Structures are given as structure tokens and as C-alpha cells.
Amino acid sequence: MKFEKTVQDDHQAQVVVEVEPDRLEAARRRAARKLAERGKIPGFRPGKAPYEVIRRYYGDEAIYEQAVDLLVDEVYPAMLKEAEIEPAAPGSLEKIDGTDLPKFTFKVPLAPKVELGDYHKIRLPYEFQPPDPEKLDQALEELQQMYGTTETVEREIREGDYILVDLKSEKESLTRGGFATIVRKENRDNEFPFPGFARQLLGLKAGEAKTISHTFPNDFSDETLAGETIDIEATVKTVRSMTLPEINDDFAKMVGPYESLDALKEVLTKDIEARARAAYDDEYFPRLIDKIKETATIKYAPQTVNHEAEHVVEDLRNRLAQQGLDLETYYKMRNTDAARFFEEEAKPVAIKRLERSLILDEVSRLEKIEVDNASLDQEFNNTLTDLQMQGLNLNNIRGGRQGQQRVAEAVAMESASRLLTRRTLDRLKAIATGEYTGRAANDEGASEKKAEGMEETEKTEGEKKERKTEAAKGSAKEAAGKTSGKSTGKSAKPGASISSPKGKKSTSKK
């Protein structure tokens, strides 16, 4: 096959493929037979008419058009292999030049490419500090309020009241209907939408509204709000006074299987520290990954970003649905439209998510992070238990055994992904804090002998994902039970299909 490949600045390959005369002629004859099989030529049974008769009956143009469809389906996958192209998404047939010796011009988005640089030299101290004892007092107070009794009152809001408010803002994350909160004496770091918000409603009555302007800090966890000054319209729906139970041993027995208040405090202390550590990690690891990004080279095609941006929009759609809203309403509230939102808001979020994900994947590959079956089974069981505690019942899944199998496989894949990510982050933290002194096998200066001696070192990312998929499926089958029969489906390779230029018949196989 004669072809000319050019890698463009947008990380797409343009490949011009020249079709040989004998290949074109063979395609013409196959095309003619297909036309004859679908139609009826007088005097001949379907598919039995000679080639020249078919030409006279259908015409060279119809045969050529059918032949081009056949050639594209044949040439495109062969071109990917010979040109050594790993596509990130389906390619497109940009144009066809000539008829006697046609040249096909394909454009193929390439799989992302990441070069991390020497990330082993990056240092970022891990400086987590356990929460202050006052956090335990706050947790007990919150439990006390959960088990308190309330009564609707026809008066202004006071400290200690339980209130329901509707929040409206240009930001989706700040728009909530029927938001419940308690007006506490002191500010809480985890108060929504910002510390001290509820106290700004003191003095209002049910039915009254107030617009509150707040400037979020530049390092705020929600990147869509960081550094922004936002107006929030709060409308009070209900004001309820609270009567709280006394905090003692009886209270501990009331809230859970605790024999004493001390036992409850012990559990709460552990939970508070775990939550605090998770919050610190949510800030620490993005900073660490961004430091790696500073010396990394990341390349990806526009289609890859668009695909990730579609996920961003879909995530937003699901969150809005939980609040009884839809995207069109949200766009109107934000004074935008679907196309503008996609370009100005979804894409920037998608790029950040994509680049961080690619960096983690590459670190995982270079450090040879593995997921063993025993750990995966444990992670799967923990995830499934959490879902069951939230109300998931596999016996009620639609589709019977096959439906249960699909759900179990999805849970297993998610478990494998989380476990692999967690182990990769742990390795990064060990590197950044200087605790880990090992080096990836493909570091600069590693000996050829060492590389040859490690069987898994040269595995591709696709092979690694396949191992992870198989391990996840194994756990899923154990959870959902063995299914009868053999699977006959085959997964298509990324980019195995192709779209045609505007005005041309699609050449993708159905």
C-alpha cells in the first residue's frame, strides 16, 4: 500500500493513500456483483449476470461509487496498521482525488501522548495535621441536632433554628431548592455555600428573601467558583425551632450501637480524622499533579477533549435532574446556550480533567502499578456493601441474571479503577515526600538487560487495561453468579470506524 503520513500540530494524522489499479478493478467487480445481487437484471438470476452486462445496466458511476465504499472499508484498517497509527477516535475520509487511480485522504485523531519528564525529582511535603479537639464537639452537636425535634414558628430566624431556603444563582453548583441548614452560633468550615452563610439570614421570616454577595477565595475547592464574586438569592421557606436531647450515655445508645458516650466519641474521632485527611488529599494531589504537569509534554486531539467535555455536560445534566432542573432551564438562568457553554465552560473543565487523568495513567504505567485479585475482590465487596446500604438490591435489577451481571461488572470496573488510582497516588506521594527511592524501569540510563528481564515492563497501556478489565470481570462473575452460554460479542478497537466527507455516502460498516 502506498501512503504518505503527516502528523499535524493538533495531534491528528493526515494520511493520503493511493489505490493500486488492480485493487480498484477488483473492487469494481465486487461492487458490480453486490449491485446485481440486490437488483434484478432481465434474463439473469440475481447475481449471475456477467460483469459487462452489469456495467451496461447500472452504469460505471454507480459501480464506482459502490467500489469506493468497499475500498474505504478495506483500506482504512489496513492503513492504520501499516502506518502504525493508534487512533483515539474514528477517523474521517476528508476527500477523494481522481477516479482512474483514486487517492483517499484520511484524517485520524491520534491517541494521547504523555512525556512526564523527571517527576521523581518533584518534591511536595505532605503536611496533614489531625483536626483540633473542637471538631469532636462540633460533630456531637451535629448529631444532637439530627436527633432533635423541631416545630414550625411564625417569627424571624434566630440562632439554633432549622430553616429551609431556596437558593438561586448564576452558578449551577449554588442553585438549590429546599436547602436545609441550621443557624449556628459559630461559623463552620464545611457550611454550604460558605462559612457564615446561614447567619446572614438572621431576622428574616418565612416568605422573605435576601440577596447575598460573596467572594470565594482563589484556592476554593470548586474551580468554577474560585476567585469569583457571586450573588446568591436566598428565599426563606420555613423556620423551625429546635429542642435538643442531652449528650450523655443514653444519647450514645440512641444514635447507634454504642455502650457509652466515650465509645461514640472514639468512633467519631476516627471518622473526623478520615474525613479531614480525605479533604487534605483532595487539595494535595491536584497540586502535586499540576507540578508534574509543569515539566510534562501532553498531546491529544481535539476529539479527545470534545469527548471528555461531553462527559462534563452529561454529569451536569444528571446533577440538575436530581434538583428537578434541565439543561435548557439552566442555560437560560446562566444567560448562555448549549454551544457557548460547551466551548467556554465544559471544555476548560474537560481539559483539566483529561490532563490530570493522562498524567496519572502514565505514572501508573511507568511505575508498573498493579491491581491484584485479592485487593480487587476486597474493594469490590466494600463498594457493593456501600451500595447495598444505600438501597441497591441486585435481585431487583431489571433483566434478571444478565442485568445483575452488567451491574456487577460496572461495580467491579469502578472498583478496579479506584484501587489503581489510589495506589498510583500513594506512589506519587511517596516520591514527592522523598520516601520512595525506586525508579521506573524505563528511566533514562536503565540498562537494556534490566529492561529485558522484566516481563511486564514493555506492556502497552491497552494490555494493562485489558488485564484490569479481566480481573474486574472475574470479580463481577463471582458476585452476580456464573452466566450460561458463551459471549459472542467483540469489542471494536478505538477508531476502527470512519466517517465520510460531507455529501458522500457513509462508509462505516453497520
Q: Are residues 154 and 103 in the same domain?
A: no
Q: Please indicate, yes or no, if residue 153 is contained in any of the structural domains.
A: yes
- Within a domain: 38: yes
Q: Which residues contact 40 (CB under 8 A, 6 or more apart)?
A: 46
Specify whether 73 is located in the same domain as 166: no
Q: Using one digit for the tens of pLDDT, what is the confidence trace for 221-232? A: 787 888 999 999
* pLDDT of 457 strictly over 80: no
Q: Please give the full DSSP string across 375-410, using - where no structure is assigned.
A: HHHHHHHHHHHHHHHTT--GGG-TTHHHHHHHHHHH
Distance between CA 155 and CA 352 in Å, rounded? 47
What is d(CA 383, CA 389) in angstroms, rounded to the nearest whole number?
10
Query: In which element (H, E) is residue 209 found?
Result: strand 209-215
Structural domain contains residue 437: yes
Same domain? For 85 and 20 the reply is yes
Domain boundary among 65, 88, 111: 111
Q: What is the pLDDT of residue 402?
A: 81
Residue 46 to residue 502: CA distance in whole angstroms: 33
Cα-trace Rg, the chain:
31
Residues 221, 121: contact at Cβ < 8 Å? no
pLDDT band (50, 70, 90) for residue 183? very high
**Preceding peptide of 90 cis, ω within 30°:** no
Q: What is the DSSP letter of 337?
A: -
Residues 94 and 24 placed together within one structural domain of the fold: yes
Distances (CA, A) of 370 to 106, 119, 366, 421, 423: 37, 20, 11, 10, 8
| Share above pLDDT 70 across residues of the chain, in percent, rounded to a whole number | 86
Calculate mean pLDDT across residues 262-282.
Answer: 94
Computed over every residue of the chain, the mean pLDDT equals: 84
Residues 6-16, mean pLDDT to the nearest whole number:
95
Residue 287 lies in a domain: no
Task: Identify whether the C-beta of residue 244 lies closer than 8 Å to the C-beta of residue 148.
Answer: yes
The whole-number average pLDDT for the span 99-108 is 88
Q: Cβ–Cβ contacts within 10 Å for residue 96, how many? A: 17
- pLDDT digits 0-9 by tens, 43-80: 787 778 888 888 888 888 888 888 888 999 999 999 99
Shared domain for 164 and 79, answered yes or no, is no
Would you say residue 186 lies in a domain?
Answer: yes
Count of all residues that appear for the chain in the document: 510
227 plus 176 within the same structural domain: yes
Determine the residue type at 363: V
Q: Which of 243, 270, 303 is the last residue of a domain?
A: 243
Average pLDDT value for residue range 443-449? 42
Look at the chain and report how many structural domains it folds into.
Answer: 3
425 lies in some domain: yes
Question: What whole-number distance in Å separates Cα of residue 197 and Cα of residue 182?
Answer: 10
Residue 356 pLDDT > 70, yes or no? yes
Mean of pLDDT values over 353-370: 95
Q: Are residues 170 and 238 in the same domain?
A: yes
Is the pLDDT at 416 greater than 50? The verdict is: yes
Query: What's the CATH code of the domain at 21?
Result: 3.30.70.1050
How far is residue 92's CA from residue 470's CA, in Å, rounded to a whole number?
31
The most confident of 11-15, 215-219, 446-450, by mean pLDDT: 11-15
Ranges of beta strands (E only) in 289-346 are 297-299
* Residue 270 domain-assigned (yes or no): no
- State the Cα torsion 386-391-394-398 to the nearest 10°: -140
State the CATH number of the domain containing residue 185.
3.10.50.40
- Is the domain of 65 the same as that of 14? yes
Q: Is the pLDDT of residue 189 over 60?
A: yes
Sorted by sequence, the CB contacts under 8 Å of residue 197 that are 6+ apart come out as 181, 191, 212, 214, 232
Range of the domain at 201: 149-243
- The reply to whether 36 falls in a domain is yes
Same domain for 82 and 195? no
**Percentage of residues in the chain with pLDDT exceeding 90?**
51
The residue out of 96, 111, 126 marking a domain boundary is 111
